[in-house]
Amino acid sequence: MSDFWDAASAVATTAATGVALWLAVYEVQMRRRDETVRQGAQAHKVLSAIEGTRGKVVNHSSEPLLELRIIRADAEVNGSPVAVRWADDAQRIFGNVSAGEERQLELQVQGWGPLIRAGLEEGIDEGIAPINATDHRLTIQFLDAAGLWWQRVGLRPPTRILGEPAQPAASPE
């Protein structure tokens, strides 16, 4: 009978150890997830948009951005990116963007060729991007109040930058 209790005790001990290990791993995963959410809280409140001929970035968080870089502006035409131009001397690296502040980038209107609607030429397609462009967006990188670098493309979720931040691209030709 003692062999039965020895075997039962061994099974119970093994099961308890397995449960304890599973709980420890689960707790570590939950802490990592919570830390990731906490780290990204400010990054989710930094928004960019292109409105008319202006790209703008707004810090909606309650903390300052230590640095902001507008890397590029673009749109999509038939699933392919089309670069949007700005003045060569436009400022695109900003220090200390306080809570609630906005930074802007003036975009250049350019000709994209003839404007054709219903098979008829109606003039010149002029704008910051072709008339049939969609998903106008800025790519920004910023240093948050915790000293973490982030990248955000349009309204897509922000992603951490683990290396060095990028330099803003030159205005496309």
pLDDT, residue 125, reads: 84
CB 99 within 8 A of CB 62: yes
3 state DSSP class of 168: coil
pLDDT, residue 116, reads: 77
pLDDT, residue 115, reads: 78
Give the whole-angstrom CA distance, residue 102 versus residue 78: 31
Query: Could you tell me the mean pLDDT of each successive run of 10 residues in the chain, 173 residues long?
Result: 75 78 68 60 95 96 96 93 91 95 94 80 86 94 95 95 93 81
Q: If you ran DSSP here, which 8-state letter would residue 144 be given?
A: -
Contacts of 132 (CB under 8 A, 6+ apart): 77, 78
- Buried (b) or exposed (e) across 41-71, using 16+ Cβ within 10 A? ebbebbbbebeeeebebbbebeebbbbbbbb
Beta bridge partners, 116, equal 121
Residue 135 host element (H or E)? strand 134-143
pLDDT, residue 72, reads: 95
Number of H helices, E strands in the chain: 1, 11
Q: Alpha carbon 54 to chain centroid distance?
A: 19
